[in-house]
Amino acid sequence: MYLIIILLAFLMPGFEKADLNWTDGRELTVEGQGWEDTKSLWDRLPARAEGLVREPVWGNSLDSAGILLRFRSDSPSISVRWTLRKDRLSMAHMPATGVSGVDLYVRDGDVWRWAATPFPSGRSNDALLVSGLDDRMREWMLYLPLYNGIERISIGTVDGSSIEPLPRKADAMHPIVFYGTSITHGACASRPGMCHVAILGRELDMEVVNLGFSGSGTMDPEMADLMGELDASMYVVDCLPNLNGQAVSERAVPFVKRLRSKRPDTPILLVEDRTYADSHVNSDRMQNNVGNRVALRKALDELKADKVGNIYYLEGDRLLSSDGDGTVDGSHPTDLGFRQQADAFKEVIVPVLKPGKQSS
């Protein structure tokens, strides 16, 4: 009976093996976090933004969307422990693996390949990610949850193996900063690595900063000021899904000019809203697309007339396939839709940031 109890304890999720060493995530390379002066360790905006930005923006900024750990290790297994900020693990249209899960990738030659996604079961989680690895050094990336926050996270490696931060090369480009809505935030990816922002980071081999705020990406002037604090290679402004034509007319030009005043030379990419997948049978949604796009086009023309340069534009009809299979609800992408969006973004971003390179 005693032996059975021991075996059951060993097989239980979260059982701590004696031969694992645990490394706090803050001891590894942290990417996708634009500021270090945060209220909590894994927030996306600086502590001073509380009370400066609107309350919904601040609340969304406590989610860890886009933040990841980079490290190298020769451990024969990789485990993870993470404690979540919120009890809500999933949403009606988005699984727990995307809302509250972590997502492991490994470098294979020149590309990053998916390796593991554990299933979150509560606020505190403990999982074996991969095992049975041969004895050689590998490079890893672990994405943090999209729609939940992190209180703490650590990586478990076998005793006697090594683990160390994996910094980017000294000549790496500055990050691309994405500002947008729930779509930028990551709804409704099945896992954190499948948001288009994450896909672009891997495939362009660049750091990306995700400033997507669900329902609250509305070209707020204070966000232009905060974004301007980040030394970016490009700013992507993708807010139309949270706006209507009148709001775009009122906000787009002042927002871009304010951001441009902070960063005179950095490319800015303006993005139209994705075409609603059901717009062919929903005239209200179709009119919302039309109104937003007419207004943003006029804003672009005004910016050009005012000699505001280095502005680029991505049309909404390019973001999702016309077959309508790329969303959960006509608006928020599935993994398929995020793949389509990433490809569309690459076609615009690559010629600007990496001229001469193929965009696919």
The answer to whether residue 18 scores a pLDDT higher than 90 is no
Which residues 6+ apart lie within 8 Å of 342 measured at CB? 196, 199, 200, 203
The answer to whether residue 178 scores a pLDDT higher than 60 is yes
Mean pLDDT of the chain: 94
234-238/268-271 β-pairing: parallel
The amino acid at 59: G
The answer to whether residue 269 scores a pLDDT higher than 90 is yes
Distance CA 308, CA 316 (A): 22
pLDDT grade, residue 284 (50/70/90)?
very high
- Across the range 143-164, mean pLDDT stands at 98
Q: How far is CA 105 from CA 95, 115, 184, in A?
A: 19, 5, 20
The answer to whether residue 5 scores a pLDDT higher than 60 is no
pLDDT grade, residue 357 (50/70/90)?
confident
Instruction: Quick: pLDDT tens for 73-108.
Output: 999 999 999 999 999 999 999 999 999 999 999 999
pLDDT grade, residue 12 (50/70/90)?
very low
Give the per-residue pLDDT at 171.
Answer: 86
Which residues 6+ apart lie within 8 Å of 4 measured at CB? none
CA angle 206, 211, 216 (to 5 degrees): 155
Give the per-residue pLDDT at 359.
Answer: 61
Instruction: Quick: pLDDT tens for 116-139.
Output: 999 999 999 999 999 999 989 999
User: Which domains can be identified in the chain, with CATH numbers?
Assistant: 17-32+67-165 (2.60.120.260), 176-353 (3.40.50.1110)
pLDDT grade, residue 291 (50/70/90)?
very high
CA angle 75, 146, 335 (to 5 degrees): 90
The answer to whether residue 1 scores a pLDDT higher than 50 is no
pLDDT grade, residue 169 (50/70/90)?
confident
The answer to whether residue 159 scores a pLDDT higher than 50 is yes
Count Cβ neighbours within 10 Å for each residue of 29-39 and write b for 16 or more, e otherwise.
bbbbbbbeebe
The answer to whether residue 58 scores a pLDDT higher than 50 is yes
The answer to whether residue 182 scores a pLDDT higher than 80 is yes
pLDDT grade, residue 6 (50/70/90)?
very low
pLDDT grade, residue 170 (50/70/90)?
confident
- Which residues on adjacent β-strands are paired with residue 21? 157
Percentage of residues in the chain having pLDDT higher than 90: 91
Give the per-residue pLDDT at 68.
Answer: 98
Question: Could you give the count of Cα atoms lying within 13 Å of 318 in the half-sphere of its Cβ?
Answer: 13
Instruction: Quick: pLDDT tens for 296-347.
Output: 999 999 999 999 999 999 999 999 999 999 999 999 999 999 999 999 999 9
Give the per-residue pLDDT at 10.
Answer: 38
Give the per-residue pLDDT at 7.
Answer: 37
pLDDT grade, residue 278 (50/70/90)?
very high
- Across the range 142-148, mean pLDDT stands at 98
